[in-house]
Structure 1
Amino acid sequence: MRCLRVTLFALVLVCPMAMGEAAAEPPPAIPGLPQLPIPTDPGSILPDLQQWIDSVIPPPPIAAAPHPSGPMMEATTLTPGLAALRAAALPTPIGDPIFDAWPENLESFTAGEVVEVRDVSATAAPLVLVPIRQALLLKYRTTDSRGAASYATATLIIPATAWSGPGTRPVVVNNLPIDALGRDCTPGYTFAHGWSRNTSITDFLPPTTQLAALRGYAVLIPDHEGPWMAYAEPYVAGHAVLDAIRAVRGLRSDEFGDSRFGMTGYSGGAIATHGAVKLIDSYAPELAGSIVGAALGGVPADYEILARSMNANLASGVFIAATFGVGRERPEILASMNNLAQWAATSPLKDLCGSVFGAVGVLMLPIDIAANIPDPLHSEVASEIYTATRMAGMKSATPLYIYNGEQEFWIPAEGARNLYQEQCGLGVPAVYRSVLGEHIIAGGLGYPEAMSWLDQRLQGVPAPDEC
């Protein structure tokens, strides 16, 4: 712990240099520790700092990975050290088996097949505020980023209002911006256990769930980061969303088997929505006729763009957490972490919710301080991650409404516009709206028209095409 305190103090001292400002005087030497490097070439400070960190901080003590079976089967493809690091970096169990327990014989279940159901109406109803008939927490089989069997949870809210429209009751798939690393940070945990210090205000604002229920729509809220809380991994999220729809259709086929499903997601929820719409054709083609549209805003569709806009500024805490979240599913990222990052990744920090790690952005730390390779955001590993998560050339199987703040500085509109142009080129009916403001203001200003567009799709009105 002494090493960590000293190192964090040193990082605060060198942070201005890492941001491009030269230091007038080197910090005083600390007896027993290597001298902090002060290179004559300011451009070399980060590689030198990385080497200094690993010379000061030893690797964390990590137990060997469990025997590779069930959820750890992929450990057979990793080196023993990396397998152990990955196992130690996974989220801590929270004491509720519906979120923690790996189902037996999960591979024998089909994608979207329900494993367990819990009625959570008593705890969910006071949070939803509007009258509901029932709230169900579903645990179902899904698929991870590498095609292996996994599980996810989702909450189905059925309103008390009878459906008076044509056909069966439509369902709004509300992909919330979970943006978290711990299992008790999810909306499913909140609906099952009640409001807690880890509940995110974005689970309820904007009030999509409440407005949809008042409209007579059911609402499906997936915990789309999966059991490993793989924050920002679009394949995990996309699979979890599509399998949640399968789970509802299979569990209540009489009520929802022929329903229209419409998706929405903003920011972190847009990651899940983006992944889901691009995976329909290849992963769940039978849902193509049931998913009638998707509205997504503040869209983090291209992580290469975010590597320029979110690193070494007030968004750096979120950016580093998202990089680590993706690394839980793609361990090649974990292999590029230095000793300091390994200590953090295996400490209680691995269970933080977004409101906490977002505050770390005040340090404006570059991600280089967590890496053991030079210029990590321009490395071969980074290039592979950018390509995989961009999901370029994959066609949405449903019409799209895309919106983004024109003055966005952390999630620039460039990514959303590129997605719109890509999907138009692939023949997808799409609408794009440039909204005034940065992330929060644009989220509020763009919300009404996006929800109006989604409402029309759920009512059966054909989607406009502005391509």
Structure 2
Amino acid sequence: MRCLRALVFALLLVGPPAIGPAAAEPSPEPTAPPALSDLSRLPELSIPQNGSLLPGLQEWIDRVVPPPPVPVALSPQPDPMPSATGLTPALAALRRAVLPAPVGDPLFDAWPANLEDFGEGQLLEVRDITPTAGPLIVVPIKQVLLLKFRTTDAHGLPSYATATLVVPTTAWAGLGGRPVVVDNLPIDALGRDCTPGYSLAHGFSTKTSFTDFIPPTTQLAVLRGYAVLIPDHEGPWMAYAEPYVAGHAVLDAIRAVRELRPEEFGDSKFAMTGYSGGAIATHGAVKLIDSYAPELAEVIVGAALGGVPADFEILARSMNGNLASGVFMAAIFAIGRERPEILARMNNLAQWVTTSPVKDLCGNGFGIAGVLMLPIDVAANFADPLHSELAAEIYRVTRMEDMKSATPLYIYNGEQEFWIPAEGARNLYHEQCDLGVPSVYRSVLGEHVIAAGLGYPEAMLWLDQRLQGVPAPDEC
């Protein structure tokens, strides 16, 4: 009965889909579903000991909920998603329908022409956003630039991303070029106007995340004389939690800055930091340096990452069917924007949700859905999805197993973490030690929020030392 109540709540929350008036293929008339009160016709509605819903409920959901009217006819415009080739027309249409809606700013929305002719990290557009960004940054700054550049999607195909460069007022008096802190913020969002780049370009709004400013990494770095680079690392399709998209975007943002001002940043040291969702981007970036941007191996001098979601198989145990389930489901869906095989396994209920305005929510919006404590099974069209071959492949790919970081690491995690357990961070530390990477691990008191505060000072001191040229310690 709890599952049925959850289904009713979800149906009430979804509302109509955000799809235009284009005609859809007619759907077959659904067979008459059993009434909610007639539980005798659904004897298999119990939940097995492994926590997964039996197929009977999933089949019942698809009988109760018709598919959304997603138009299958291809757009008259060229499809800007190279990775969509090879999909069935229905799946390609669903993928288009679940992508984030335009926000009205071509710098964020417009797919560049002839993108394949540009190199990775090559600049496409630069906009001075100092007037809007300055009041949000608070501390004195010389200039804030919004960069748009070519990057690569999860399948190795051309894409684009944006990032914000903050330049201090004070001249750099140290050796070499001005150091740059790459602040990979925990964007954790589905809509393009949830990114730090959009907020800095358009001003503070209800979609601006407080984690864009707390902890004050940008402010502390600027006061130190460092420049700050803030990548919008989810890419144009807002592929939250997809580490290849994020890693490529971060590395290409560094390339873009070096191209933009070679006289100022051509021989600068870069150091990365990221917590939680920002740690996903940092994790992806450090493991992709050797294969994707080997010229940056001597440029990036270290990376500090905390609250590390390094293993989604662990998160499938810790975040499913509890108060974190809204965030967990959003991450799976967002990865599906780049990996449509996930979208193909969504049931009709999930398709209605992901084609509705939910697809543009920021983290504070979809996080509220966790109060329903829905298991992921309620969105799938097959049994036990978290223990399936598809899940095993997603776990394997996103874990980036045995890929060596090309830069020293500082890893920290709350010892009392219950949603992002320290097991994943410790495993990452041991993996990188075994691969010969100079690494430090700190077990921090507290769960996710408390550990973020307690672990932050030492992580920033470690990062500062790397930018000052102090050799990285190795505690492996």
2:42 maps to which residue?
37
Partner of residue 148, structure 2? 139
- Partner in structure 2 of residue 303 of structure 1: 312
Q: Distance in 2 between matches of 1:179 and 1:168?
A: 32
CA distance change for structure 1 residues 30 and 445 in 2, over 3 Å: closer, same or farther? closer
Question: Are residue 222 (structure 1) and residue 238 (structure 2) matched?
Answer: no
- The SS at the match of 1:403 is strand
Residue of structure 2 equivalent to 1:111: 120
Asked if the contact 2:82–2:157 (Cα under 8 Å) also holds between the matched residues in 1, the reply is no
Q: Which residue of 2 aligns with 1:17?
A: none
Is the aligned partner of 1:433 residue 2:438? no
Q: What corresponds to 2:136 in structure 1? A: 127
Q: Mapping of 1:227-238 within 5 angstroms? A: 227-238=236-247
1:323 equivalent among 332, 345, 350: 332
Shift of 1:298: 0.2
Within the candidate set 257, 278, 281, 2:287 is matched to 278
Distance in 2, matches of 1:125 and 1:42, equals 53
Q: What SS does structure 2 have at the residue aligned with 1:209?
A: helix
Q: 1:51 to 1:108 in 2, by over 3 A?
A: same
Classify the secondary structure of the residue corresponding to 2:85: helix
Distance verdict in 2 for CA 1:6–1:411, change over 3 Å:
closer
Q: Which residue of 1 aligns with 2:26?
A: none
Q: Give the match's secondary structure for 1:295.
A: strand
Deviations 1:299-331 (A, max 9, x none): 000000000000000000000000001000000
For 1:390, give the aligned amino acid. Answer: R
| 3-state DSSP of counterpart to 2:151 | strand
Amino acid at match of 1:59: P
Mean Cα displacement is larger for which, 241-250 or 63-72?
A: 63-72
Q: Aligned pair 1:173/2:178, yes or no?
A: no
Q: CA deviation at 1:72?
A: 2.5
Aligned position for 1:408: 417
What does residue 458 of structure 2 align with? 449
Q: Tell me: CA distance 1:173–1:35, structure 2 relative to 1, closer, same or farther (3 Å).
A: farther
The match for 1:53 among 50, 58, 61 is: 61
Q: Is the 1:117–1:139 contact (alpha carbons within 8 Å) kept by the matching residues of 2? A: yes
Q: Which residue of 1 aligns with 2:102?
A: 93
Q: Secondary structure at the match of 2:80?
A: helix
1:188 paired to 2:193: no
> 1:243-272: per-residue Cα shift (whole Å, max 9, x none)?
000000001100000000000000000000
Conserved? CA contact 1:113–1:250, under 8 Å: yes
* Alpha-carbon distance between aligned partners in 1 of 2:77 and 2:153, rounded to the nearest angstrom: 16
Whether contact under 8 Å (2:44, 2:57) holds in the other structure is no
- Measure, in 1, the Cα distance between the counterparts of 2:84 and 2:137: 41
Q: Does 1:102 align with 2:111?
A: yes
- State the partner residue of 1:418: 427
Secondary structure at 1:427's aligned position in 2?
A: coil
Counterpart Cα distance in 1 of 2:327 and 2:45: 32
Match of 1:152 among 148, 151, 161: 161
Match of 1:352 among 339, 347, 361: 361
- Contact 1:93–1:183 (Cα < 8 Å) also in 2: yes
| 3-state SS of 1:71 partner | coil
Residue 407 and residue 367 in structure 1: after superposition, are their counterparts in 2 closer, same or farther (change >3 A)?
same
Q: Any idea what the Cα deviations from partners look like across 1:218-263, whole Å, max 9, x if unmatched?
A: 0000000000000000000000000000000001100000000000
Instruction: Assess if the C-alpha contact under 8 Å between 2:6 and 2:372 holds in 1.
Output: no
For the Cα contact (< 8 Å) 1:292–1:398, is it kept in 2? yes
- Secondary structure of the 2:364 match is helix
Distance 1:449-1:79 versus aligned 2 partners, 3 A rule? same
Q: Following superposition of structure 1 onto structure 2, how do residues 49-88 of structure 1 map, counting pairs within 5 Å?
A: 49-64=57-72, 65-66=74-75, 69-88=78-97
Partner amino acid for 1:466? E
1:36–1:52 CA contact under 8 A, matched in 2: no
- Distance, in Å, in 2 between the alignment partners of 1:314 and 1:179 is 16
CA distance in 2, matches of 1:427, 1:73: 37
Cα separation, 1, equivalents of 2:418 and 2:186: 18
SS in 2 for 1:357: helix
Contact 2:45 2:56 in 1 (8 A): no
* Equivalent in the alignment of 2:221: 212
Matched to 1:263, the amino acid is M
Relative distance call for 1:175 and 1:36 in structure 2 (3 A) is: farther
Report the CA distance between 1:38 and its aligned residue.
3.9
Unaligned ranges ≥5, structure 2? 13-33
Note if contact 1:292-1:399 (Cα within 8 Å) is conserved in structure 2: yes
* TM-score when normalising by structure 1: 0.93
Q: Which residue of 2 aligns with 1:250?
A: 259
Structure 1 gaps, min length 5: 13-27
Question: CA-atom RMSD, angstroms?
Answer: 1.9
Query: SS where residue 207 of structure 2 aligns?
Result: coil
Q: Is the 8 A contact 1:261 1:458 kept in 2?
A: yes
Specify which of 376, 379, 390 is matched with residue 370 of structure 1.
379
Q: TM-score, normalised by structure 2?
A: 0.91
Determine if contact 1:142/1:150 at 8 Å carries over to the other structure: yes
CA contact (8 A) 1:36 1:49 kept: no
Task: Identify the residue that residue 8 of structure 2 maps to in structure 1.
Answer: 8
Note closer, same or farther for the CA distance 1:35–1:58 as it changes in structure 2 (3 Å cut): farther
Q: Which residue is equivalent to 2:173?
A: 164
Query: How far apart, in 2, do the equivalents of 1:176 and 1:6 lie?
Result: 32
Whole-angstrom CA distance in 2 between matches of 1:333 and 1:102: 24
Indicate yes or no: 2:280 matched with 1:266.
Answer: no
Once residues 46 and 144 of structure 2 are traced to their aligned partners in structure 1, the CA distance between those partners, rounded to angstroms, is 61
Distance 2:95 2:389 in 1: 20
- Letter of the 1:168 counterpart: G
Percent identity, aligned pairs only? 75
- The alpha-carbon deviation at position 39 of structure 1 amounts to 2.7
When residues 30 and 385 of structure 1 are mapped into structure 2, their CA distance, relative to the original with a 3 A threshold, is: closer
